[in-house]
Structure 1
């Protein structure tokens, strides 16, 4: 199959799970013999722009006409079977959907967050879940609260894009791939067309390194931010320490706005180590040496890569009992779930999961089996191809089987789709 992947890469200043997912999917498809091209923009490139060009970036968030023209030309030349859209913020914009309509190519879009119903995509504000913009056509609450970067001005382009492009997304994308059932439920309740929303969990590569013994530490691996539950974890760990500890230290790996606070909190302690950012190899080794991986997020996570990575390494997880974590972690079988936002509940789960090494190893083995059945590359490839075929079959004239690799396109299979969708902004 011939696939064109569309993605605006996030800044390299922070590790991006979404960038990793896109890269791994491209690698997976190519390894399976499919032809994959990538149409991308990089947020890193904004820094090199002139002052005037930087100032114009917010204007491109709702609509980038140059991208529409460039992509439409590429599609007419290359004639892919399907376009797979990931992130379009801030440099691509929903103009990519119109470009696909112009060229008459079916579109699949992975929804990595909640940007279809929430301008910053988090459904989280002031330390708690927020649904004020869900079902709101104008997303005015987000502007009022300055939900993106705590700035009303910075939030405006996102809110405008959501309002003016909602119907274009919903009519122009054949298959929306939700990365958890919890995410799909929220989007269906928001009014998105349920027949176009399907669940396709992220996959994670087999890490190679797996835990063989009891483990050496409890590991937090992720962004150091309030919404990720870092302050909650610090409070819970202080409670654990006050009651005698659990026999292993807490290792915190990552970076983010709370880094100074975490550094100061960990300083001089034997039961806590803050190690900064790990590279991918260090991450794999740290996970494989863990008694448990902890994911105490306050926000409704759409997936939770670190939990799936722990499962792949024979390691159970302690996670918040909401969002996608409920799908990933089975209480007492592959890990433990704590009450969201409750430090005492989190501390209790961490005590239990570290108290019985034999039981912990049983959970780790069950977690590995869950990974193999639900989040392995083989499963990920099968689900991805199913969705591509469904998108192709869902278009007029799309009942034809995808052409064999290397067979030239005639361009006729999708030629009439542009007239159906208008091809206009």
Structure 2
């Protein structure tokens, strides 16, 4: 198949699971022999823009006509079989869906978060879960300034959601990939078209490094933000330290808005190491060297990439018992779940995962088996191809992976002029 991937890359200063997923899927498709083009914008490029250009960005968040024209032109020139949409904020906008319609190319979209029903995409506000905008106009988000604590910054997102979700997202996308069943349940409940929502978990590439011993540390790997449970983790670790510790240090790898606070908390401790942002190789080594990976998010994660990366390395996870974690981690089998927002419960889980060496090793083996059956590249490729074929068939187009031709359709006519399937 010929696939066009559309993505607005997040800033490189902070780790982005979405950027990682996009890069991994592009590489996977190319390795499988599919032709993959990429149409992207980079948030890193905003800094180099002129002041008037920066000031205009919020106006283009709901709709960017220049992007529509450029993408449509490229689609007409390259004639892909399907377009795969990822993040479109802030430089692309839902105008990319109109570009697909202009060029007559079916679109699928991976929903990496909850932006279809919540302007900041988190279902979280002021340290607690929030569904005030789910299934209704996103006025509460504006009132509370849910995006970056700013009402002004939240307005473009709220406008885009109100104007575009039914007119373009819900009617212009053939198939939505939900990255967990928990996410799909929320979106269906909010009124999204259930028949177009399918669960396609993110896959994780095979890791060249797996755990071989008991592990040397507990590992938090991710963005240092409150919604990720960083403050909860610090409180739980204080509780453990007061009781004598767990025998291994806590390694905190990442950057984010709480970086200074975390560094100050860890400064005078010999049981915590703040190591900053790791590159890919060091991330793999840190995961493979862990007794367990810790994912204590206070918001309901739509997925949990670090948990699956731990599975691939044969490492169990300690995760919050809500959102996607409840379908990724089988409590007591591939890891441990703690009560969300409960420092005492998290401390007990961390104590448990480090105290029983034989049980930990057994959970690591079960986690690896879970990865092989549900999150390997082979599984990920099959689910991508299935979704693309369904989207192409939904438009009445040909399925190039099967050599089909539909000469009665516009896409079939293009295929005949192009000499058959690519």
How far off is 1:261 after superposition?
1.0
Instruction: Determine which of 411, 414, 420 is the counterpart of 1:413.
Output: 411
1:423 corresponds in structure 2 to none
1:48 equivalenced with 2:48 (yes/no):
yes
Residue correspondence of structure 1 range 220-299 to structure 2 within 5 A: 220-299=220-299
1:110 corresponds in structure 2 to 110
1:151 corresponds in structure 2 to 150
2:311 corresponds in structure 1 to 311
Q: Which stretches in structure 1 are left out of the alignment for 5+ residues?
A: 417-425
How far off is 1:412 after superposition?
2.3
The 2-side partners of 1:403 and 1:220 are apart by: 41
The 3-state SS of whatever aligns with 2:400 is: coil
How far off is 1:293 after superposition?
0.5
How far off is 1:413 after superposition?
1.8
Higher RCO (CA < 8 A, seq sep 6+): 1
TM-score by length of structure 1 reads: 0.95
TM-score by length of structure 2 reads: 0.95
1:420 corresponds in structure 2 to none
How far off is 1:144 after superposition?
0.1
Aligned length: 411
- Deviations, residues 18-46 of structure 1 (Å, cap 9, x unaligned): 00000000000000000000001111111
The 1-side partners of 2:199 and 2:66 are apart by: 32
The 2-side partners of 1:228 and 1:414 are apart by: 48
1:57 corresponds in structure 2 to 57
- Deviations, residues 385-420 of structure 1 (Å, cap 9, x unaligned): 00000111111x23x321679x9x99822789xxxx
- Deviations, residues 334-373 of structure 1 (Å, cap 9, x unaligned): 0000000000000001111111111100000000000000
- Deviations, residues 286-306 of structure 1 (Å, cap 9, x unaligned): 000100000000011010100
Residue correspondence of structure 1 range 106-255 to structure 2 within 5 A: 106-136=106-136, 138-167=137-166, 168-255=168-255
The 3-state SS of whatever aligns with 1:80 is: coil
The 2-side partners of 1:366 and 1:403 are apart by: 35
1:69 equivalenced with 2:69 (yes/no):
yes
The 1-side partners of 2:410 and 2:224 are apart by: 50
The list of structure 1 runs, each at least 4 consecutive aligned residues, that deviate by more than 3 angstroms after superposition, is none
How far off is 1:240 after superposition?
0.7
